[in-house]
Structure 1
Amino acid sequence: MSMLSSMGGGAEWLLGYLIPFLFVLTIVVFFHELGHFWVARRCGVRVVAFSIGFGPEIVGFNDRHGTRWKLSAIPLGGYVKFLGDDNAASAPDRDGLSQMSEAEKKVSFFHKSVGARAAIVAAGPIANFILAIVIFSALFMTVGRQVTTPRVDSIQAGSAAEKAGFQPHDLILSIDGTPIESFGDMQRIVSASADVPLSVEIDRGGERRTLSATPDRREITDTFGNVHRIGVLGISRSTGAGEVTTQRFGPVEAVGLAGKEVWFIVDRTFSYLGGVITGRESADQLGGPIRIAQVSGQVATFGIGALLQLAAVLSVSIGLLNLFPVPLLDGGHLMFYAIEALRGRPLSDRAQEVGFRIGLALVLMLMLFATWNDILNISKS
Structure 2
Amino acid sequence: MGSVAGIIGFLTNNVITFVFVLSLLVFVHEMGHYLVGRWSGIRIMAFSIGFGPEIAGFTDRHGTRWKLSIIPLGGYVRFFGDEDASSKTDVDQLSAMSEEERARSFAGAKLWKRAATVAAGPIANFILAIAIFAVLFVVYGRTVADPVVAVVMRGGAAAEAGIEPGDRLVAIDGTKVTTFDEVQRYVGLRPGRNILLTVERDGQKRDFGIVPKLVEDTDQFGNKMEVGRIGIALVDPLVTAVEPGGPAAQAGVQAGDRLIAIDGNNVATYYDIARYVGDHGGKSLVLTVERNGQTRDFPMVPETLAATDASGKKKDVGSIGISPIDPLVASVAPDSPAQGAGIALGDRILSVDEHVVDSIGDVQRFVASRPDKPVMLHIERNSLTRDVEVTPKKTEEPDAFGNATEISSIGITDGQKPIKLRYEAYGPFRALGEGVRQTGSIVSGTFEYLANVVGGYMKADQLGGPIRVAQLSGQMATLGFSAVLQFAAILSVSIGLLNLMPVPVLDGGHLMFYAIEAVRGKPLGARAQDIAFRIGFAMVLSLMVFATWNDISSRIG
TM-score grouping bracket, smaller chain normalisation? over 0.9
Asked whether the equivalents of residues 514 and 523 of structure 2 are also in contact (C-alpha less than 8 Å), the reply is yes
Moved more, 31-40 or 58-67: 58-67
Shift of 1:305: 0.7
Q: Is 1:26 aligned to residue 23 of structure 2?
A: yes
- Pick the aligned partner of 2:159 from 153, 158, 162: 162
Could you tell me which residue of structure 1 aligns to residue 316 of structure 2?
none
- 331-340 vs 181-190, which deviates more? 181-190
The equivalent residue for 1:73 is 70
Alignment counterpart, residue 257 of structure 1, candidates 434, 447, 454: 434
For 1:185, the equivalent position in structure 2 comes to 182
Does structure 1 residue 39 correspond to structure 2 residue 33?
A: no
Q: Residue 520 of structure 2 corresponds to which residue in structure 1?
A: 343
Task: Write the mapping of 1:177-256 to structure 2, written as runs, cut at 5 A.
Answer: 177-238=174-235, 241=413, 243-256=420-433
1:75 partner SS:
strand
Residue 261 of structure 1 aligns with an amino acid whose one-letter code is Q
| SS of structure 2 residue aligned to 1:76 | strand
Deviations 1:156-202 (A, max 9, x none): 11111101111111111121233211111111111222212211111
Contact 1:197–1:213 under 8 Å retained in 2: yes
User: What is the distance in 1 between the residues matched to 2:23 and 2:143?
Assistant: 28
1:136 positional shift = 0.6
Equivalent of 2:130 in 117, 130, 133: 133
2:163 partner letter: F
The residue type equivalent to 1:101 in the other structure is: S
Query: What's the CA shift for 1:94?
Result: 0.8
Q: Which residue number in structure 1 is paired with residue 498 of structure 2? A: 321
**Aligned-residue identity in percent:** 53
Hey, which of these two has a bigger chunk of strand by percent? 2
**Greater CA deviation, 77-86 or 267-276?**
267-276
Question: What is the aligned partner in structure 2 of residue 272 from structure 1?
Answer: 449
CA distance in 1, matches of 2:515, 2:78: 22
2:149 maps to which of 152, 157, 168 = 152
Note if contact 2:196-2:207 (Cα within 8 Å) is conserved in structure 1: yes
Kindly provide the CA deviation profile for residues 121-145 of structure 1, in whole angstroms up to 9, marking residues without a partner as x.
0000110110110001111111122
Q: Relative to 1, partners in 2 of residues 1:37 and 1:283: Cα closer, same or farther, differing over 3 Å?
A: same
Residue in 2 that maps onto 1:54: 51
Q: Which has the higher helix share?
A: 1
Does 309-318 or 234-243 show the bigger shift?
A: 234-243
Of 257-266 and 346-355, deviating more is 257-266
TM-aligned CA distance change 1:4 to 1:229, over 3 Å: farther
Given candidates 82, 85, 88, the residue that maps to 1:85 is 82
Bigger Rg, structure 1 or 2:
2
**Pairing 1:365–2:362 present:** no
Partners of 2:78 and 2:3 lie apart in 1 by 35
Where does the alignment leave 5 or more consecutive residues of structure 2 unmatched? 237-360, 362-412, 414-418
Q: Distance in 1 between matches of 2:551 and 2:69?
A: 24
- Matched residues in 2 for 1:259 and 1:15: separation? 34
CA contact (8 A) 1:4 1:13 kept: no
Are 2:287 and 1:110 equivalent residues in the alignment?
no
Residue segments in structure 1 that go unaligned for 5+ positions in a row: none
Q: Deviations over 1:288-313 (max 9, x none)?
A: 00010011111111111111111111
1:106 to partner: Cα distance: 2.1
Asked if 2 retains the 8 angstrom alpha-carbon contact of 1:85 and 1:91, the reply is yes
SS of alignment partner, residue 110 of structure 1? coil
Higher relative contact order (CA 8 A, sep 6+): 1
Report the Cα distance in structure 2 between the residues aligned to 1:99 and 1:353, rounded to whole angstroms.
Answer: 20
Determine helix, strand or coil for the equivalent of 1:346. Answer: coil
**Secondary structure, aligned partner of 1:49:** strand
Given residue 37 of structure 2, which amino acid in structure 1 is its aligned partner? A
Q: Could you tell me how far 1:9 is from its partner in structure 2? A: 4.8
On the 8 A contact 2:158/2:230 being kept in 1, the answer is yes
Change (3 A) 1:356 1:82: same
Amino acid at match of 1:24: V
CA distance in 2, matches of 1:347, 1:3: 51
Return the offset for 1:3. 7.4
Instruction: Report the residue type matching 2:164 in the other structure.
Output: Q
* CA shift for structure 1 position 245: 3.0
Determine the C-alpha separation between the residues in 1 that align with 2:152 and 2:200.
16
AA partner of residue 269 (structure 1): T
Task: Verify the 8 A CA contact 2:226 2:458 in the aligned structure 1.
Answer: no
Give me the whole-angstrom Cα distance separating, in 1, the residues matched to 2:109 and 2:521.
Answer: 14
TM-score of the pair, normalised by structure 1: 0.96
